[in-house]
Structure 1
């Protein structure tokens, strides 16, 4: 039974960053070591909305680029957030069930709200509750820097018990917001890396932390 648990691949929905794409996130994640990737069954979804402005990765990666939702310039008012979650749920129904969610940047902000919204019964009610999160370059809605969509207003009202792994870059533009997000989770696991706002390659120490997290999740089944 123990071997069966360790051999079970974890099915993960992957949510890309702002004006990125599933293909870009896939290319970045696939730099991780094969012994780790072999434990994961990864599904990469494109955001439901074409990019409404220039992408920060234009010229580095090929378009098309997508967004999950939109916001005003101050990032206080949000648009299409509820519609985005409906599209995510449709994808999860069609391709799931999923064990966990991996999110980067805007996708990480979205992912971090999901356990709370499922707890409150306001979103993703047609799919099983998410068992774990992997948050890369994440940030928290509802701070002085970021407002919070109405649908997610109670997401952080109580500590989130969903197991979580957080990848935080030393030079990331949202490093402080990513650190602040940790306070909303019970016993978050953290990988600190020397890069910026990106999916990092994993050194030996980071790989050990990541692999141990995955092994603990596998033991939950």
Structure 2
């Protein structure tokens, strides 16, 4: 049930594939995004997709979801083969269920999405990406795809790359300036993206997606997301 970008005179309909972490359980991501989705309106469609690796519920979510339930991650953070398998799974999913107009990634899911994008652009420089925009929420810095194939995990840094690695894609980057779980891990991804097509918003909600109670943060998130959707709709 994929939707396509509508003409510029109309509101863009985006069908998003959503990545989530540290507990990528569909209902969690759906709940965390509910306030932002409400402000964006009902013209958008979303798919919430779980990981496959069993994981305990993140401590900061214990007050909101049953801690004894089973939750899932996309990969083991310390395993290059696990990350490569997650990239393969994502590629297969997009080929099977796509096309999609956008991708959303939170935390580990953002790392997976960004690593997938960079790997695709390196491996298929003349082949379009399977989506038109990307939204990164408290994303962890992407891993170097070439090092993953050698069994190593190295986070990409803009100062050593020499040029933006994510080109031809409208991106939004949202993170907490007081993120104490993965401090300093969202900024490098922002710097690795095309300066003409990226935008960002900083909030004070830590390593999370702002909830409805943080009204100003929600409105700030929605503003930059809409800007990215407009760029995607115009083919920027």
In the superposition, the TM-score normalised over structure 2's length comes to 0.75
Counterpart residue number, 2:179:
172
Structure-2 change in CA distance of 1:38 and 1:220 (3 Å): farther
Aligned counterpart for 1:55 among listed residues 39, 58, 61: 58
Structure 1 unaligned blocks of 5 or more: none
| Residues 22-171 of structure 1 aligned to structure 2 (within 5 Å) | 22-32=26-36, 34-51=38-55, 53=56, 55-56=58-59, 57-62=61-66, 63-72=69-78, 77-121=79-123, 128-141=129-142, 149-150=148-149, 157=161, 158-159=163-164, 160-161=166-167, 162-171=169-178
Counterpart residue number, 2:235:
220
Secondary structure at the counterpart of residue 149 of structure 1: helix
Structure-2 change in CA distance of 1:18 and 1:34 (3 Å): closer
Separation (CA, whole Å) in 2 of partners of 1:35 and 1:178: 24
Count of aligned pairs between the two proteins: 208
Contact 1:132 1:164 in 2 (8 A): yes
In the superposition, the TM-score normalised over structure 1's length comes to 0.80
How far off is 1:170 after superposition? 2.0
How far off is 1:58 after superposition? 4.0
Q: Which runs of 4+ in 1 moved over 4 A?
A: 151-158
CA RMSD of aligned residues (A): 3.0
Separation (CA, whole Å) in 1 of partners of 2:20 and 2:80: 18
Structure-2 change in CA distance of 1:92 and 1:33 (3 Å): closer
Deviations along 1:9-61, one digit per CA (max 9) or x if unpaired, are 1111100112331220111111125351424221110002222x453334531
